[in-house]
């Protein structure tokens, strides 16, 4: 059995913590007034501040022989790309560049990868989210299959593009 991992942009985390602070009881705050982020059982949150941090965390998980059932990536982005705060974009080419590094061994059969970030799975003249999702599936789900998806719009619109990869 694997674990759920949430990779979140440290830029997004500040906004998330502020949002959470407004929705928690006073007993759920640290002495300095910050909200505790409570992850569901068997879930680990990992803050990432740079493009290189994404790969570094994947390498750590590989070294630890982690098994991932679900990977949720909470970050900013636009059609076909995402970023973790340093302004360096991660898109189809960046994902393809790590395709042969054994990251598919991290994922359990039928694993899910989901992008929670505006427009990441959308399509425009700025990029193509379907190409990014396909690159993610090839790179991370090629061994055991699974699903990858993401938001195609922003805000409260829950448009979604999902792709399935068979092992």
Rg of the chain taking only CA atoms, in angstroms? 16
CB contact at 8 A, 114 and 149: yes
Whole-structure pTM over 0.85, yes or no?
no
Least confident segment among 3-7, 11-15, 111-115: 11-15
Pick from 19-28, 37-46, 96-105 the range whose average pLDDT is largest: 96-105
- pLDDT for 49 equals 83
Place of tokens 């290189």: 52
Task: Return d(Cα 44, Cα 112) in angstroms, integer.
Answer: 15
Among 111, 110, 112, 130, residue whose Cα is nearest residue 122:
130
Whether the per-residue pLDDT at 89 is higher than 90: the answer is no
Place of tokens 């922003």: 154
């Amino acid at each position: 059995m694997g674990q759920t991992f949430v990779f979140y942009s440290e830029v997004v985390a500040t906004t998330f913590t502020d949002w959470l602070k407004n929705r928690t009881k006073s007993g759920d705050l640290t002495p300095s007034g910050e909200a505790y982020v409570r992850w569901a059982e068997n879930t680990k949150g990992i803050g990432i501040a740079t493009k290189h941090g994404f790969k570094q965390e994947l390498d750590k998980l590989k070294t630890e022989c982690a098994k991932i059932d679900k990977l949720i990536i909470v970050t900013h982005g636009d059609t076909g790309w995402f970023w973790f705060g340093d302004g360096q974009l991660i898109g189809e080419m960046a994902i393809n560049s790590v395709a042969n590094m054994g990251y598919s061994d991290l994922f359990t059969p039928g694993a899910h990868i989901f992008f929670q970030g505006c427009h990441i799975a959308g399509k425009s003249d700025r990029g193509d989210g379907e190409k990014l999702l396909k690159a993610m599936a090839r790179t991370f789900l090629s061994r055991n299959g699974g699903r990858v998806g993401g938001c195609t719009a922003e805000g409260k619109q829950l448009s979604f593009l999902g792709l399935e990869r068979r092992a």
